[in-house]
A and B are shown apart, each in its own frame.
Chain A
Amino acid sequence: MSLNNELKMEIYHTMYRAQQWEAGLMRMMDEGLVSGFFHSGRGQEGTEVPAVLTLHRDDYLLYDHRGCAHMIAKGMDLVSLYGDFLGNNLGSTRGLGAGIVHIADPERGVLGQSGTLGGGHVMAAGVGLSIKLRETEQVVMNFFGDGASNRGTFHEGLNVAGAWKLPVVYIVQNNGWAISTPVSYATAGGSFAQRGAAYDMPGITVDGMDPFAVYEAVQTAVDRARAGEGPSLIEAKLVRFRGHFEGDPGKYRGETELAAGVKRDPILFARAHLIETGLQTDESLQILEAAINDEITQARDKAMTGEVPGRERLAEFLYA
């Protein structure tokens, strides 16, 4: 779908919804209701949301630990996401998968996460193979970071995806840091997009803080995959606003980098754009945002009514 005004609105309000959902989760952490072991996605909504909004309901999503904006954009119910973090039966995994990182929704193609970073590269290729063998027009999208791009599975996954023209869209969210290790140190050549050529697929660099640019770039890749023309590698350059994990003081990166990134908040950028182009006013957006905030509060309240699993569920679903 081309980037029309309706879509720009959808991108904005979904990003806002993702941001507020996460803010609600942080409050639950402060209140001691949820484990503080979390990897904030703040700042990365500008990539995760528009990218996933290019997908159809039956397209597949593999993701990593950073935030939940992609899952929210895929249409997952906010109550189930809170339930997963609370570890109760209202979660998507009905109390058995943790909030980090095994949220799943087979009906919406949300396939879950490999706790070992980079496990998704080869799994995504296998999903692409499955699509090809079943002869459907589905696409699989795999999100990962700069750190995970240096695992051997990246080579094996992208090589076979390129050689077999599998319908995979690989998106590396390059925020410059693998916890405390910078890309400049860990990555030969400093660019992930340039690896695309080695795997016979387009390697595209996009400004990950510009949600509209991301949308265009990813839509192109998704169309290409759906048409049977093969995979793409998209490198979205962005800034992680918070530490790697909650509690990480992030002293390894300079304050200027962070400050510069925060100035380019994709959510504020999109909001300003909507007002500047006359699509919305500050007042109309405030009404929309208030409704979203109500939705978040209700989702939280509903999620809180769930039950955590008892010991008898320890081996549930171990074997089919």
Chain B
Amino acid sequence: MTRTITYAQALNEAIAEEMERDERVFLMGEDVGAFGGIFGVSTGLFDRFGPKRVIDTPISETFIVGGGVGAAITGMRPIVELQFADFLYNAADEIISKMGKWRYMHGGLFTVPMVLRMPEGAIGGAGPEHSQCPEAMLLAASGLYIAIPSTPADAKGMLKSAIRNDNPVCFFEHKALYSMKGEVPDGDVTIPLGQADVKRSGNDVTVIAWGRMVHVALEAATLAEVDGISVEVVDPRGLRPLDTETILGSVRKTGRVLITHEAGKTGGASAEVAAIIAEEALADLEAPIRRVCGIDTPVPQSSHLEPFVTPTPAELHIAIKELVAM
């Protein structure tokens, strides 16, 4: 049985279920308590679980993350939240070198079972410092898992897994998806981290997309279908672990691949995926690897300019047609 709920409700349910299941799990961040989080993700949790499980913090990102690490290495399982993913720079050392390296640096004597949740992405007018998709920044930070769910079902199943996982997980939630509705299975359903999902099967072109761009890719696939092009949309659902088996399997099947993300193209994670494809499946390609990503500017403060920086379904559709024509 399934229910139709929003992505935000799915996250809310995941947190509540895991907090019910394990008393060591707690949520900490700015305005997550009685306010319910500025995007409403933690609505009702404070009333249900109280101030020792749902904790408001000062505006102190190094404490939100570094304090989370301190709690994680002394028996707790924190879910810490940065109010915007852009704030990861304010706690970069805490994320990359404390959360990500504490276990390794100390010879495996500790685990850091914490989840760092971050609302990401452009939603219209939030500006360059509240709209970023910074997942690529964490690619070089070995020790950290990177999870990026694109649907309510993925969000719930993956957040439950992330909370149960003994590794530190950076969990990116696109703000524009919070109100998106989708079917979520009943019961205690977890989705393993590092497992890609083929969101749409096809034979002619592989489109690899994550986060909000999964939905842009699905729209483009529908447009391409009218042209008789069968598009397969592969959602890696995260960057580490990266499900190279599913990605390469699809590429070998179609021979044509387009990688798309909302973040700017240069230094974006598409480059990493492209390099892996080039190393492992060059002989299977019928056309060069193609990337259609965000433009290399900050997300504009102007809401008039903002729509121009991220790929549209039409732009992906054009790229798909060009790939097939090669």
Interface positions of A (Cβ within 8 A of B): 60, 91-97, 102, 104-106, 111-112, 114-116, 119, 121-131, 133-134, 140, 152-153, 156-157, 159-160, 163, 316-320
Whether A127 contacts B107 in the complex (CB less than 8 A), given A122-B63, A122-B66, comes out as no
A126 CA to B71 CA in the complex, in Å?
A: 5
Whether A95 contacts B66 in the complex (CB less than 8 A), given A111-B74, A130-B75, comes out as no
A-B Cβ contacts below 8 A, count = 138
Whether A112 contacts B62 in the complex (CB less than 8 A), given A126-B69, A160-B67, A316-B108, comes out as no
Q: Are A319 and B143 in contact (CB under 8 A)?
A: yes
| Shortest CB distance A63–B (Å) | 12
Whether A159 contacts B60 in the complex (CB less than 8 A), given A126-B67, A133-B26, A318-B142, comes out as yes
Q: Are B143 and A104 in contact (CB under 8 A)?
A: no
A102 CA to B110 CA in the complex, in Å?
A: 12
B-side contacts of A134, CB under 8 Å: 75-76
Q: Are B73 and A96 in contact (CB under 8 A)?
A: no
Closest A residue, CB atoms, query B107: A93
B98 at interface by CB-CB < 8 Å: yes
B166 at interface by CB-CB < 8 Å: yes
Kindly identify which residue among A102, A123, A126 contacts B107, using a CB–CB cutoff of 8 Å: A102
Q: Are B58 and A123 in contact (CB under 8 A)?
A: no
Give the size range of B's interface with the partner.
Answer: 35 or more
A44 CA to B97 CA in the complex, in Å?
A: 28
| Shortest CB distance B164–A (Å) | 11
Q: Are A122 and B71 in contact (CB under 8 A)?
A: no
Interface string of B158-185 (1 = CB under 8 A from A): 0000000111000000000000000000
Whether A92 contacts B107 in the complex (CB less than 8 A), given A130-B74, A318-B143, comes out as yes
Interface string of B25-62 (1 = CB under 8 A from A): 01000000000000000000000000010010110111
Closest A residue, CB atoms, query B241: A319
Q: Which residues 95-125 of B sit at the A interface, judged by CB distance below 8 A?
A: 97-98, 102-111, 113
A56 CA to B250 CA in the complex, in Å?
A: 58
B-side contacts of A128, CB under 8 Å: 70
B93 at interface by CB-CB < 8 Å: yes
| Shortest CB distance B136–A (Å) | 20
Closest B residue, CB atoms, query A105: B109
